[in-house]
Structure 1
């Protein structure tokens, strides 16, 4: 079934392989017992390409450490979702896209929470096949639809999502793979079905990360797979503000987004022409 996944969809296998590798570390930031089976045979090969580009022999590393970044991102969003779930008003969590995420299976959730995973039919079918009879630990709803389809919010509501009550959204590993018009369209659609007080979180790179010569090695890997990075912003707060969300953006290595693992300096936001990635998180006004 792996052959049915296109280039962008197969990046979810890379994420799964990274999570499997993190799970094997004695100093791991989390444990994902499902990651290895979700990565399949392809995920480790994709990871090997990224590691080869990131850690060239006999040369100084100029690229961000993808294994450390992914470990921090996963743990950061684990904590974000678990914190949201502790709020008695949280009854809906939406992952869009879901990819090979296994948080519904590997973490505990309150009985009141309904969990929605939105992704392309081929991704969810692959995931079902790899997970087999593993049961989620939450009321779980799969929404098999492409986020580029204009009616995906309708499909989400057909699955039981209620736009009139607050929800929690995670847009992980999405925004830098899609053209800018699609970024704005998706955020507008998400905003339209988020009641006031809803939470949102996402990762996004800055504009320089798409063009800096020092990023070329990693950018060429993804472009070679057929899934180039297409969108970045230096003002993630303003991006989300335009759609009614008040967010705070933190970078790996800053307080709350380090976990003792980020190996590089974190330049101040005023410094230009440096690569950045942001974890934006906040609420709907």
Structure 2
């Protein structure tokens, strides 16, 4: 997903999806892998592999994926439905042992799906899978309902890598709209960066470009609990990447613990909100 509705921005997000898929492929090739995604290499393509090679590898990416995988399976029940917000090249409908009765809804721009569907071909998902073409920065709930979303069934909402591509108002709307659609026992999973990310040297060009153009900055917050509580979620539990529940031997300490001079607003929040 992207903050601005234009072809170049959407193409950039599709490219990011290929980079993330390349990271999943790299993890899958490890003997000590945290998960297996046999489709990731094809989905990444040469452009995704090149992007991963050109950037500093981020060990947080497989940790985030595994952390959400575990939370999804803990929440999954025979009557559950799973909604992947800004699904991109996500393959959870194919690789997670979800209940046969579960329905997976993948929401993203129409541009996100053609290559993915072509590569997956006749591969069968483990359960019912439905693609929903919608922009999460605008009205999207009707498209989800039209695809057969059941408002009476408990839902697992997953926003992996999404919130950074939203404005603050869009993030608030997504959280609120998901709560309004949800039945009891529903869960919302998300990763959200602290505001310190925007102060890093590598973010300076983006911050300067957005500011000079009068465009909003990517959404970050140091109070994710408040975001979800204001949006209608009864409880929000936050784990920091690197804490014991979210390291898997890859991130042994939260980022701020590596340098006493760093501030807590550099944290990456892994949120599990419930109704």
In which range does the TM-score fall when normalised by the shorter chain?
0.7 to 0.9
SS in 1 for 2:51: helix
**Per-residue CA distance 1:129-183 (angstroms, 9 max, x = gap):** 1212211111111112221231x11111111101133211101111011111111
SS in 2 for 1:40: helix
SS in 2 for 1:256: helix
1:146 to 126, 135, 156: 135
Aligned residues: CA RMSD: 2.4
1:119 corresponds in structure 2 to 108
2:212 corresponds in structure 1 to none
* Cα offset, 1:5, TM superposition: 5.5
1:133 corresponds in structure 2 to 122
1:147-186 correspondence to structure 2 within 5 Å: 147-150=136-139, 152-186=140-174
Distance change in 2, residues 1:256/1:276 (3 Å): same
Alpha-carbon contact 1:50-1:221 (below 8 Å) kept: no
Alpha-carbon contact 1:49-1:221 (below 8 Å) kept: no
Give the TM-score, by structure 2 length: 0.86
More moved, 97-106 vs 179-188:
179-188
2:22 to 17, 20, 27: 17
2:240 corresponds in structure 1 to 251
1:39 to 33, 44, 47: 44
2:70 corresponds in structure 1 to 79
1:208 corresponds in structure 2 to 196
Alpha-carbon contact 2:43-2:119 (below 8 Å) kept: yes
Measured in 1, the distance between the counterparts of 2:219 and 2:131 equals: 27
* Cα offset, 1:117, TM superposition: 0.7
Give the unaligned 5+ runs of structure 1. 52-64
1:49 corresponds in structure 2 to 54
Give the unaligned 5+ runs of structure 2. 1-7, 210-215
Give the TM-score, by structure 1 length: 0.83
2:33 to 15, 28, 31: 28
Aligned pairs, number: 257
Alpha-carbon contact 2:109-2:133 (below 8 Å) kept: yes
Alpha-carbon contact 1:254-1:266 (below 8 Å) kept: no
